[in-house]
Structure 1
Amino acid sequence: MVDPRTAVVNSNGGWCWFQDERALVDPGSRRLLLGSVASVAGAEGDRRGGDVDLTIVDLDHLGEDPTGQGVDPTRPGAAPAATSGAATGPGVDPAARTVTLHPGLESDDHDNPALWHRDDGRWLAVYSRHKSDDRTRWRVSEVGDPTRWGPESTVDWRGLFDSPEQARELGGGRGVTYQNLHRLDGVLHCFVRAINDDPCYLVSHDDGDTWTFGGRLLTREKIGYVNGYARYASGNRFGTDDRLDLIITEHHPRDYGTSIWHGYLADGHLHRSDGTTVGELGRSLVEQAPRAEDLTCVFGHGSTWDGAVMTHAWTTDLRRFPDGTVVALLTARADDTLGTKTDRSVLDPIDHRFFRAVLPAGAEQWDVHQLAVAGPQLLPHEEDYTGLGTLDPEDPDALWLSTVLDPRDGTALPRHEIFHARTEDDGLSWTWAPVTEDSEVGNYRPIAVPGAHDLSVLTWYRGAMSSSQDYDAEVVVRVARR
C-alpha cells in the first residue's frame, strides 16, 4: 500500500479551531470521524449550504480508488445512505461517507461539531450556531454505527435565568458558540462560550444523553466583540480524567492587546500553572468568577522576541501528553502598527508569527520559543486569521503548520502550504518537510487527529475562502504509518 495516502473525503467543508475534538479515530474500527460545515459558496452550496456534516472514513481503504469517481453506493460494504446531504460524487474517495447531523443550520464554519466516543460504543456530536441563538444541540449515534443517529436534543441557555431582567444583567441572550467535550473526574463536560460571552460549561452524568448547567469558569467585562478564546486539553485519550488544562485570551485580538493565560481544573478547583488555587469550580450564575489574568501568563502582549515586539496573541492548539507535559501553539502580531483600529477596510500586510510553548511535567513555568513566520492575515477583515497549525497528538516534539512563507528558508509562496516539523532539542531548532507543494489552491487549518497510535492522520481543507461564512473548499485526509 502506498504511504502516505491522500484523498478528498468531502467536496464542501470547513471548520473553526475552537471546538474539540473536531476529528477522532476509533482505533477498533479504524474509522476516522470528522466534523465540518458546508458553505453556500462551496460545491452544491444551494443544496448543502449550512449543513453540519460528519464524514466517516475507512482509513485502511483510503486512497484505493484509482478512478477518483467517488462512492458507488451499490458496492459491497458501502455505508447506508446518509440522513441527508451526502457529500459523495466525483472526486470524493469511496472510503469516505458523509452524513448530515443538521441540514441548513447556518453557513458558518463556527458551527462545527465536537465529537466524543462513548463507553457504550455510541458517538456523541455537539454543535451550535455562531452566536445567532442560545441553543447547544446534540445527537447520539446508534451503537457502533456513526452513520445512523438519534433525534436532535437541545439545551436553551435562556432557560437558566429567572427573568429577562436577570438575563440582561448577567449577559445572557447574546448567543452561544463553540463546544468542547472532555471528561473530568468521571463527569462529561461540555465547555461553551455562553453567558456574557464567557467560558461556561454543561455537565452530563450519562455520557451525553442529558445535560445540565455546570457553572461559569471565567468572566470579564465585555470589550469589543466577545470575551476570551479558550482551548482545552485533557488526558482522556490516555485514560486519565483527573485534570483538564486550558489556555485563553482576555478578548478578541482585534479589540484588545491580548496575552495568553493558562490554568488547569483538578480536585474541584481552578489552578494556576504552579498549582496555586484560583477558586472553586461549579460557580452559579450570580457568583463572581475569576478573570483570565488570575491565571498564569504564558505569553505577554508587548513582549520582545528577536528584536520584534509581539502583540495581539491568539490561541491555536493545546495538548497534554501521558507524562503530564502540556504543549501549546500560539500566534501573535510582530511590530504591529494597526492596534485595535475599528476601520479595517484597507489593511497593509500584518506580520504574524507562530510560537510553541511547553509546560514540562512537574514544572511551574512555561518554556516558549518562536517557531516560524505565519505570513500576512488570511482575510482582509480578519487581521488575526492565519493558516493555523496543529500539534501531533502522539508526539510532543512534532507539529504541522499552514503558512505562505517556507519555514526552511523564508521564501514567499504563492499560497498557503502545509509543512511538518520536528525538534530534537526541545524546540531550539526544527527539521521541516513539505506536506503540500505547488498547490493550485490554499491549504488551511490542519488537524492532527488523535486515536490511531500506529498511524499519522492529518486532515485540512483546501480551496478559496472569503469569510467564515463563504468558502469553496474540499476536505482532504492524509494517512501515513508512524
Structure 2
Amino acid sequence: MYNSGWCWFQDPRAIIHNGKLLIGGVAGNGRGDAAVGVYDLKADALLGRTTVHDQFDHDDHNSPVFYARPDGSVLTVYARHSTENIHYYRISEKSDYLNWGEEQTVEYSDAVTYMNLYHLSADDKLYNFYRGIDWNPTMVVSTDHGATWGKEQHFIQNEVEGRHRPYTRYTSNGKDTIGISFTDAHPRDYGTSIYYAEFRNGNFYLADGTFIKNLNEDGPLKPSEAEKIFAGGGGGFRGHKLSAEKSAWTSSVAIDSMGHPHIAYSLYLSNTDQRYRIASWDGSQWIDREVAFAGTRLYEREASYTGLITLDPTDPSNVVISTDVDPNSGEPLGGKHQIFKARIADTDTTNNVDWQRISFDDKRHNIRPMVVSEGDTKLILWSRGQFNTYTNYYLDTVGVDVSAQ
C-alpha cells in the first residue's frame, strides 16, 4: 500500500480476512488521508486503496485499526493524535472491503488517541483500549461487534509525579484474557520501567494468576500493582534531544499456545546505542534478556524511536526487528534500517541468535514491522521509505510471505 504510515501503539493495523489483506495507514503528505488498502492474496493483486477520512493530519499516530466481524464485514476505528475527544468508525460491506458505511463517532470526556481492538469469545465483547482519561490508558466496550459503544473506563493510572502517560501494548488469547505490557511514562520524560498484567473477567492478575484487583470495584491498575519486568533508571527529563537514562519502551507483547506471555521492548543507552530485549514467562518465572542491537534513534526529537521489534502473535518465538546496525555486533549497516527475522528460544541472547536479513533496500528506511496471519498464511509487513518525523514521512507498506518457513 503506497503512502501509508503507522505508529506502533495501535493494533491491529493490518488483518487477513477471507483471503484479503487489509492495511490501515495515514498519508504523510498530500491530503493526509486515513486510508485502507486491500490486497487479494490468492490473486496476488492490489485491489485498491480507499479513504475513510480525508485530511487526517499527516500523523502516523492516527492509523486505522480493524476487527473482522462475525457477519463477514470489517470494523475500522481511528482517531486523531490527542487533538479531539472523538473516535471515528465505519463498517465495511460484507464482501467488499473497499466500500465502507457511513462514518460514525463516539465522544469522550478527554482527548483520545491510539485505538486497539480485541475481541474475547468468552464474554463475546469487543474491547477498544486507547489513551483517554487523564492522558492514561482507557477502555470502552461494545457488545454488538462495534455497532455501538458503552461507557469509558479509566484502565491504567499514572503514578509518576506530574502529568505523565503510560505507554501500553496489548494482546489477547482470543478467549478470555488481555495481556498488557506498559511503561510508567514517556522515556524522554522519565527513566521508564516495563510492567505486565493480565485483564480477565473484569479483574487484573499477575502472570502466575495471582489476583491484583477488580477494575469496577477498585479502580484502574497502577504500575506499582503490576509485575515490574525491567527496572528503568527512574531519572527525569534531560532535554528534547535525549531520553532519560536507562529508559525502556514497550514494543510488542504476545501470548503463546501455553498461555505464557512474552514482551519485546527497546532499551535506550544513548542516541546511537539502543538494544532490543525480550522477557518471557516460562510458567514459573520471567526470563529477561538482550537479543539484538537496535542501532540509532530515528530522528532527533524522539531519541527512543527505534525501527522496532515485534513478536508473531501466533508464535512469539518468531521475532522480527528493524535496525540500522548488524543486530549481533552493533556494526553500522550504512545509514538505513533493515528488517531481520529469527527464531528465539527463552534462553537465547544476542550471543547466539541467528538473525536473517529479509530487506535489501539500502536507500530507504525499512521500519516498524508486524506479523499478520490467518490459517496457514503468514506475512511480515513493514513501512519502507522516508521518515523524518511522525508528521513528515513518505512510507509505503510492503511485505514478504513467510507462510512456508
In the superposition, the TM-score normalised over structure 2's length comes to 0.91
Matches within 5 A, 1:436-451: 436-451=359-374
Partner amino acid, structure 2, of 1:377: R
Q: 1:472 is matched with which residue?
A: 394
The equivalent position to 1:140 in structure 2, one of 91, 95, 101, is: 91
Q: Secondary structure at the match of 2:224?
A: helix
Q: Secondary structure at the match of 2:259?
A: coil
Q: 1:294 is matched with which residue?
A: 225
Render the CA deviation track for 1:360-411: whole Å, top value 9, x for unaligned: 3xx2431111011111111101010000122123322211110011124433
C-alpha contact 1:223 1:255 (8 A) present in aligned 2: no
C-alpha contact 1:38 1:52 (8 A) present in aligned 2: yes
C-alpha contact 1:214 1:282 (8 A) present in aligned 2: no
C-alpha contact 1:417 1:443 (8 A) present in aligned 2: yes
Cα distance in 2 for residues equivalent to 1:290 and 1:394? 27
C-alpha contact 1:235 1:244 (8 A) present in aligned 2: yes
State percent identity of aligned pairs. Answer: 34
Render the CA deviation track for 1:431-460: whole Å, top value 9, x for unaligned: 111101252111110111132x32330111
Higher relative contact order (CA 8 A, sep 6+): 1
Relative distance call for 1:294 and 1:312 in structure 2 (3 A) is same
Moved more, 381-390 or 405-414: 405-414
C-alpha contact 1:200 1:218 (8 A) present in aligned 2: yes
Give the Å deviation of 1:423.
2.9
Cα distance in 1 for residues equivalent to 2:81 and 2:114? 8
Q: 1:109 is matched with which residue?
A: 60
Structure 1: state its 5+ residue gaps. 1-9, 63-93, 159-172, 304-308, 337-348
C-alpha contact 1:404 1:417 (8 A) present in aligned 2: yes
Q: Is 1:386 aligned to 2:302, yes or no?
A: no
Q: Is 1:208 aligned to 2:208, yes or no?
A: no
- The structure that has the greater radius of gyration is 1
C-alpha contact 1:245 1:265 (8 A) present in aligned 2: yes
Partner amino acid, structure 1, of 2:5: G
Q: Is 1:319 aligned to 2:254, yes or no?
A: yes
Partner amino acid, structure 2, of 1:436: S
Q: Secondary structure at the match of 1:147?
A: coil
Relative distance call for 1:275 and 1:220 in structure 2 (3 A) is same
Cα distance in 2 for residues equivalent to 1:223 and 1:378? 28
Q: Secondary structure at the match of 2:315?
A: coil
Q: Secondary structure at the match of 1:382?
A: coil
C-alpha contact 1:16 1:109 (8 A) present in aligned 2: yes
Q: 2:238 is matched with which residue?
A: none
Give the Å deviation of 1:226.
3.9
Structure 2: state its 5+ residue gaps. 235-243
C-alpha contact 1:273 1:295 (8 A) present in aligned 2: no
Q: Is 1:176 aligned to 2:112, yes or no?
A: yes
Q: 1:50 is matched with which residue?
A: 32
Matches within 5 A, 1:305-384: 311-334=246-269, 336=270, 349-360=271-282, 363-384=283-304
Give the Å deviation of 1:289.
2.6
Q: 1:253 is matched with which residue?
A: 187
Give the Å deviation of 1:189.
0.8
Partner amino acid, structure 1, of 2:7: C
Q: 1:169 is matched with which residue?
A: none
Give the Å deviation of 1:152.
1.0
C-alpha contact 1:231 1:247 (8 A) present in aligned 2: yes
Render the CA deviation track for 1:275-307: whole Å, top value 9, x for unaligned: 222221236xxx74331121001111149xxxx
Q: Secondary structure at the match of 1:282?
A: helix
Q: 1:220 is matched with which residue?
A: 158
C-alpha contact 1:225 1:255 (8 A) present in aligned 2: no
Cα distance in 1 for residues equivalent to 2:345 and 2:196? 25
In the superposition, the TM-score normalised over structure 1's length comes to 0.77
Q: Is 1:30 aligned to 2:19, yes or no?
A: yes
Q: Is 1:19 aligned to 2:10, yes or no?
A: yes
Q: Secondary structure at the match of 1:213?
A: coil
Partner amino acid, structure 2, of 1:316: S
Relative distance call for 1:269 and 1:471 in structure 2 (3 A) is same
C-alpha contact 2:385 2:395 (8 A) present in aligned 1: yes
Cα distance in 1 for residues equivalent to 2:345 and 2:66? 32
Cα distance in 2 for residues equivalent to 1:352 and 1:96? 39
Q: 1:99 is matched with which residue?
A: 50
Cα distance in 2 for residues equivalent to 1:258 and 1:373? 19
Render the CA deviation track for 1:18-47: whole Å, top value 9, x for unaligned: 111111112xx311111111012xxxx2xx
Partner amino acid, structure 2, of 1:351: D
Q: 1:155 is matched with which residue?
A: 106
C-alpha contact 1:310 1:332 (8 A) present in aligned 2: no
